[in-house]
Amino acid sequence: MANPKGRRRLQYLLGPAVFLLLSYFIGRQITHQVNWRASLTEVGRAITGPLQWRLWLAVVLMPLNWGIEARKWQLALRSVERVSLKNAVSAIFTGVTLASFTPNRMGEYLGRILYIKEGHRISAISLTITCSIAQLLITLAAGLGGILWLWPIARLRFGQPAGLNLGFQALFLIVLALLICLTFIYFRISWIADLVAKIPFARKYAAYIKVLQNFEATILLKILFLSFGRYIVFIIQYSLIFPVFGVNMGFAEVFGGMSVVFLAMAIIPTFTFLTELGLRWGRA
């Protein structure tokens, strides 16, 4: 087992190092944009204008946002290891930072398990994935509502071409199918883990998901409820920030529009990652 002091030193060093690296890459991205100086000037005017209170209120809500995510992770890990809220928040930030450098946010799992004792880390990955499924369920459900909201608006603007209606219908059915499948998986996670453990060729993975066999339904519901709460906090933050930069939208419009954006952000990277893997295997 690794030296606990060495592990703590790694945690203390990793955070600042990743922060500096991330700041460098963000700075490079900003300075490579066209008219970035003028854009920064506009941002400066916005955050010092009469609506600046909206921006600062959105910033104040950030600890609540990440605190909810940390609490979700605490609940999920309860059957494996008791994690303090402070360590949970640190793990969330480390995971989010590492996710910025890895495809499909896979680094998020690596960042979080750094705060878990050896021997529990494989189980922690399975539990972290369960938290991600809960948040994805909320994103898919809200995305369905966003599609229904956007559909008539698109028809009013572009008419009613067959391709547009077909595209919306296909998107709606795909998201609905994903939502139904993931809902079944989420609430039957213990049954699925038990089933996998009985499959001969999958038994070598049974130890990794054994912890899911004892997942209580009440914990799953709490995690799902917290995921919904975090989603609402996101929407409130966007509702606060948009008017600061001259985008005047009601809460319902922000919810409908951003739910589609969040849906695209959740689905597109997955398909892109799978396509990239297929291309790499094809060249091998």
* Model confidence at 108: pLDDT above 50: yes
Cα 89 → chain centroid:
15
> Following CA atoms 224, 229, 232, 238 in sequence, which dihedral angle do they give, to the nearest 10 degrees?
-110
pLDDT (tens digit per residue) in 124-179: 888 888 888 999 999 999 999 999 998 888 888 776 676 778 888 888 999 999 99
Instruction: Provide mean pLDDT across the span 216-235.
Output: 92
For the chain, the domains span 49-283
204-207, long-range: CB < 8 A, 24+ apart: 207/122
